[in-house]
Structure 1
Amino acid sequence: MKKNIAIVMGGYSSEVAISLGSGEVVYQHLSRKKYSPYKVHIVVEGWYVQEGETTYPIDKNDFSFVKNGKKIIFDCVFNAIHGHPGENGSFLAYLELLNLPHTSAPFYQMALTFNKRDTLSVIKHYKIPTAKSVYLNSGDSIDVEAIVQKIGLPCFVKPNNAGSSFGISKVHTKEMLLPAIAKAYKEDSEILIESFLDGMEVSVGVIEYKNEIIVLPITEIVSENDFFDYEAKYLGKSEEITPARLSKTQEEKIRAIAKKVYEVLQMRGFSRSEFIIVHGEPHFLEINTVPGLTEASILPQQAATYGISLEDLFDNAITQTQQKT
């Protein structure tokens, strides 16, 4: 019997459109021989199944819906929500209360890894190099001189809980710092200020595949802009080279660290970690636990280079989930 799969997409953050694109690709590539997929929009306006122009409201008591008088229960939820509430764990906590399998890591791991500064606190404990950093909460006093003295210039100002480079600024002068902080606060009440790392940026996909942790081919990021911002990620303002132009020694070191990050953060399912290589040493930036899933997105490109099709990639995510129930 076919399994009913809810592909959840949308969310409550600035990444709604990106998430809808990822969810649509998952919907198109799931095998109709094995699954009956449904596009489930989790958006500010409500929770509903979208079929063409028709919508069916989700019953939040058990995450089901009624179509033509028949109640449809889902066997698994494929999480394609970037940002809140899918990537930060809150929606997944609800699913776990319902004992409904999903394709992401458990809610606590998702909440931890969505919080950049909490993730860094764990990573640093395992002696993995990172940038220097300063944390600020909304309402904190801001000592520009002290920040610059500790972090240096240029530096990056980031919302602590946000994705797709929304709210991020590269700061070159002291005068740019306060406007950059104000911009970041528009996305989150917590921000992170990090030192600039001068080196090659690489992105490393790590997934569970057929009951093993697999490190996918590494992607080198060459941005046309000042850094890998929204335009570079989604509007073609970057070159993504897979496999990255690395020596065998560099590649082995990065692969080992990326796998270690996945393991110490107790990840499941998809992940994509970002690193800057400085003098041959990979420095961890962040981890994305609901990476983009369109044909043009980095992780699917890496999977294709490895020899995994989109249909197989998405099928595996569901299969892994079923094996853990």
Structure 2
Amino acid sequence: MSVQKLIYLYSDSSFTPWKENIFASTVATFLKSTPDEYYPYITHFVGFTNEFADFLKQFDMVFNVCYGFGEAGQADIARWLDSHDIQHTASPYTVQILAKDKSNLPQICASINLKTPAIVSLSEVANLPYERYIVKHRMGSLHLNMLVFDASEIPYQTLLEKEDYIIQPYITGREFTVAVIPNEEGTDYIALSPLEIRPDDEREVYIAGQSYGVTEKILNPALEESTKQEIMQKVLALHKSMKIRGMSRTDIRIHHGEIYILDINTMPNLDTRSFLPSIAQNEGIDLKELFRRILLVTKRAVSYERRAVSYQL
């Protein structure tokens, strides 16, 4: 079997809009995890030029771990790659931008009978029966620049100064994140066991990360098997309905026995300290095997897309 040329395309955290957790050391780990049938290269994203596109076209596949460049986000990178017909592992622009815009989530979830917190306007907040609300950047990273406030203390001035945000009722309860990856044959997708995001105390308000206090990652959390399977089935259905390529990671909360979708990430970070690699490793799937599956399913998807285009022509 001939060895194919694979190149890892990335931007260092300092160059990405939301300062995602990716560094040269991260990509060095990727190089070591490259499947045997590929010969790996690496490049930093250098700009939206035809010369750079021609350079990338020399490779059989681009492993896209580029989360943005300057003010351009990961979806913009995907759109540029798509426009130059460059094969890459991330979802197409249309899929990424659909997921990135959090105002789309209620409609997406409703189409497959899933629950998600409603989106409300500032003028409605004082008249609705919710005790607490959360404010999110509409197009940004879920866990950054968020604000939680009580209905009795609405920060009107702060909200009037914000731009491009959404307001939702704050859903209390246990929070989990669920990874979806290709199956071993690269012919379908599977959901992995949930990882729980738990506050380090008994507080009701918490957000993954440190912005509202410390949270902990709990692998193999205590869950009824029926609840665990329901979570995995619903997240898998969401992944498939959106036609996400390669992998995804979805955050959910269980509130009074109901599962609520909070956010879906079409390009989860693959640093070994991040959620998705930790979840996969916990199930015996190391980075090398994960990369093999992602590359396999990408080749199948790209081949199918190109056959479909040829048929239409």
Quickly name the TM-score band, shorter chain normalised: 0.7 to 0.9
Which secondary structure state, in structure 1, belongs to the residue aligned with residue 21 of structure 2? Answer: helix
Distance in 2 of aligned mates of 1:27 and 1:164: 29
Matched residues in 1 for 2:227 and 2:113: separation?
18
Q: Tell me if 1:63 matches 2:40.
A: no
Return the offset for 1:24. 5.0
Name the structure 2 match of 1:52.
none
Residues 148-187 of structure 1: pairs in structure 2 closer than 5 A: 148-150=126-128, 152-178=130-156, 181=159, 185=162
Match of 1:211 in 2: 187
- Equivalent residue in structure 1 for 2:7, among 5, 8, 21: 5
Does the Cα contact within 8 Å between 1:25 and 1:293 map onto a contact in 2? no
Residue 220 of structure 2 corresponds to 243
Q: 1:154: how far off?
A: 1.4
Structure 2 residue aligned with 1:34: 38
3-state SS of 1:296 partner? coil
Q: Decide whether aligned partners of structure 1 residues 25 and 280 sit closer, same or farther in structure 2, where only a CA change above 3 A counts.
A: farther
Residues 125, 151 of structure 2: 8 Å contact kept: no
Q: Displacement of 1:178 after TM fit? A: 3.1
Q: CA deviation at 1:289?
A: 1.0
Distance 1:17 1:196 in 2: 25
- Whether the 8 Å CA contact 2:198–2:215 is kept in 1: the answer is yes
Residues 1:106 and 1:215: Cα distance change in structure 2 (over 3 Å): same
Residue 91 of structure 2: aligned partner = 105
The CA RMSD over aligned residues, in Å, is 2.8
Over 3 Å counting, the alpha-carbon distance change for 1:26 and 1:120 in structure 2 is farther
What letter is aligned with 1:100?
I
Aligned residue type for 2:58? I
- Paired residues for 1:116-127 under 5 Å: 116-127=102-113
Normalized per residue, the structure richer in strand is 1
Q: How far did 1:262 drift?
A: 0.8
1:263 equivalent in structure 2: 240
Query: Residues 283-322 of structure 1 correspond to what in structure 2 (within 5 A)?
Result: 283-322=260-299
Cα separation, 1, equivalents of 2:145 and 2:87: 33
CA contact (8 A) 1:116 1:286 kept: yes
Write out per-residue CA displacement over residues 160-205 of structure 1, whole angstroms, 9 at most, x where no aligned residue. 000152211111255453365367x3xxx42111101121101111
Q: Distance in 2 between matches of 1:147 and 1:61?
A: 51
Pick closer, same or farther for the CA change 1:179–1:28 going to 2, 3 Å. farther
Instruction: Supply the distance in 1 between the matched residues of 2:53 and 2:29 (Cα, whole angstroms).
Output: 22
Asked if the contact 1:272–1:287 (Cα under 8 Å) also holds between the matched residues in 2, the reply is yes
Which structure 1 residue ranges, 5 or more long, are not aligned? 48-57, 66-70, 136-141
Letter in 1 for 2:38: K
1:78 aligns with 2:63: yes
Look up the match of 1:253.
Answer: 230
Alpha-carbon shift at residue 310 of structure 1 (Å) = 0.9
Aligned-residue offset at 1:72: 7.8
Percent of aligned positions that are identical? 21
Match of 1:221 among 191, 197, 216: 197
Partners of 2:130 and 2:297 in 1: CA distance = 44
2:50 partner amino acid: K
Aligned residue type for 1:322: K
| Higher deviation after alignment, 27-36 or 268-277 | 27-36
SS of corresponding position for 1:133: coil
Q: TM-score, normalised by structure 2?
A: 0.82
| Alignment length (residue pairs) | 291
Q: 1:201 is paired with a residue of what secondary structure?
A: strand
Tell me whether 1:202 sits opposite 2:167 in the alignment: no
Q: Structure 1, residues 234-269: CA drift from partner, whole Å, max 9, x if none?
A: xx9321112222101111111111111111112111
Q: SS at 1:120's partner residue? A: helix
Aligned to 1:18, the other structure's residue is in SS state coil
Aligned residue identity for 2:136: K
